[in-house]
Amino acid sequence: MKKNLKLLAASLVLPILVLFLCPSPAVFAAAPVWISAPSAVLIDLNSQQFIYSKTPHLRRAPASTTKILTSIVALDLVALDRVVTVPGYVRGIPPSKINLRGGEKYRVADLVRAILINSANDAAEALAVAVAGSRARFATQMNRKARAIGCKGSNFVNPHGLPNPRQYSTAFDMSLIMAEAEKYPFIVETMKVRTTAIYSRSGRKVFLKNHNKMLWQNGHVLGKTGWTRAARHCFVGVIDTSNRRVIVAMLGSHRLWKDLKTLVDYQFGMNISPIQRNRKLWSREATQKMQIALARAGFNPGPADGRFGPATLRAVQQFQTANGLPPNGVVGPTTWDKLQPFAY
């Protein structure tokens, strides 16, 4: 009997220890928002809590989102105004690139701009070699930095994110890297730039254009895109509003901009009707679960058919009013947290 009691006590203590020792944010959102990406997170930068998560520790190729860590490591090791020489072999680096020429000289600041704005693989390679002496030694510095900020599911072997089976990360780890990048004003300000130009020390002009379409649309979503056939579409950045900054990391998307806009809408909403917004956020299966939960809570959503219509909207607004929430009719994370107990 005493032995059984000891086993029971151990089984209760272990989950508690895991909860307090786990470096991840404390709260996982459970709302079943549909996105094509197999792995994604939204994390409040101030509270360090999950707003949304989907298999956050799944290892995947990070593609060019790697360049955020590359920029961090470079700025840790060398000054922005240092001038570096481009090695000749970078002309053979696959795109995307800005066609650097061997022997050209650039300031570190300009190579970082080329990396973050134009996703230039040749600039990333040139910077890594200049900073550490070789790609391998720079990768060692990348992994050292990643471990120091809490990344446990990542390994880096190159500075640009071109395909390599030994280079991988997770949405959670990439969110940690983005949170670290927030401490570097030059990186944050560079991510805000839509277009600019850099110059070699001999005066050759190179035009840069930001690959982040969300920056062009509303200016509130800063970050770094990435794509390879193996990695699919990736995005790591920050959603910046007047009262909140939220880290977003998404790996493996098949429809990057739709997925990213869905995640932005999920937390912040857009200027569309509540019915349209809920249809955008929720799959039919999830809407049916929501309707069942509303009915169990005592609010009639109409038939549980998975179609978000006027009757379901009224039920959501009534539920929100009864629970002290703004009756905007949108089932976001706060509303779902209160509605979820009725779903099971």
Assign residue 79 the CATH number of its domain.
3.40.710.10
75 vs 25, higher pLDDT: 75
Last residue of one domain, picked from the residues 177, 210, 243: 210
Instruction: Give the pLDDT confidence score for residue 267 in this predicted structure.
Output: 64
Residues 192 and 283 in one domain: no
User: Which position has the higher pLDDT, 65 or 20?
Assistant: 65
Q: Identify the weakest region by mean pLDDT among 110-124, 238-252, 294-308, 314-328.
A: 238-252
In Å, how far are 78, 145, 178, 213, 295 from 72, measured between CA atoms? Answer: 10, 9, 10, 23, 51
CA separation for the pair 112, 130 (Å, rounded): 13
Q: Which range among 65-74, 154-163, 318-327 shows the weakest confidence by mean pLDDT?
A: 318-327
Of the listed ranges 81-95, 146-160, 225-239, 310-324, the one predicted with least confidence: 310-324
CA distance 47 to 222: 20
- d(Cα 128, Cα 255) in Å, to the nearest integer? 31
Q: Using an 8 Å Cβ cutoff, are 228 and 163 in contact? A: yes
Please report the pLDDT score of residue 217 as a whole number.
82
Query: Does a structural domain hold residue 265?
Result: no
pLDDT tens digits, one per residue of 154-199: 999 999 999 999 999 999 999 999 999 999 999 999 999 999 999 9
What average pLDDT is seen over the chain? 88
pLDDT of residue 271: 43
Evaluate whether residue 111 is within a structural domain: yes
Is residue 250 assigned to a domain?
no
Distances (CA, A) of 263 to 28, 62, 167, 280: 15, 19, 26, 10
What's this model's pTM, rounded to 2 decimal places?
Answer: 0.74
Give the end of a domain, one of 210, 244, 259: 210
Q: Are residues 299 and 205 in the same domain?
A: no
What span, in angstroms and rounded, lies between the C-alpha atoms of 147 and 153?
9
Asked if residue 279 and residue 173 are part of one domain, the reply reads no
Q: At residue 63, does pLDDT exceed 70?
A: yes
What is the residue type of 312?
T
Span 63-69, mean pLDDT? 98
CB-based burial of residue 4 (10 Å sphere; 0-12 exposed, 13-18 middle, 19+ buried)?
Answer: exposed
Contact of 23 with 150, CB cutoff 8 Å: yes
Are 55 and 76 spatial neighbours (Cβ–Cβ below 8 Å)? no
Full residue range of the structural domain in which residue 122 is found = 63-210
CATH of the domain at 278: 1.10.101.10
Half-sphere exposure of 299 (CA within 13 A, CB side): 21
More confident: 6 or 330: 330
Cα separation, 62 vs 130, in Å, equals 23
Q: Is residue 334 part of a domain?
A: yes
CA distance 120 to 99: 9
What DSSP state is assigned to residue 43? E
The more confidently predicted of residues 228 and 11 is 228
One domain for residues 97 and 194:
yes
**Which of 192, 210, 228 is the endpoint of a domain?**
210
pLDDT at 282: 87
pLDDT reported for residue 30 = 41
The larger pLDDT score, comparing residue 25 to residue 76, is at 76
The residue to which tokens 């107990």 are assigned: 341
The confidence score (pLDDT) of residue 5 equals 38
pLDDT at 25: 56
Report the domain count for the chain: 2
In angstroms, the CA 336 to CA 29 distance is: 9
- The candidate with the shortest Cα–Cα distance to 22, out of 61, 48, 51, is 48
Residue 4 pLDDT exceeds 70: no
> How many C-beta atoms lie closer than 10 Å to residue 99's C-beta?
11
Check if the beta carbon of residue 287 is closer than 8 Å to that of residue 278.
Answer: yes
Taking only the tens place, the pLDDT of each residue in 250-307 is 999 999 999 998 888 776 644 457 887 788 788 899 999 999 999 999 999 999 999 9
* Model pLDDT, residue 120: 98
Amino acid 8: pLDDT? 37
Is residue 288 in a domain? yes
Domain presence at residue 201: yes
Read off the pLDDT of each residue in 116-142 and give the average, rounded to a whole number.
97
73, 199: one domain: yes
72, 197: one domain: yes
Is the pLDDT reported for residue 19 higher than 70? Answer: no
Q: What backbone torsions phi and psi does residue 197 show, to the nearest 5 degrees?
A: -140, 150
More confident residue, 116 or 314: 116
Residues 157, 159: Cα–Cα separation, whole Å: 7
Instruction: Give the confidence band of 222 by pLDDT, cuts at 50, 70, 90.
Output: very high
CA distance 151 to 148: 7
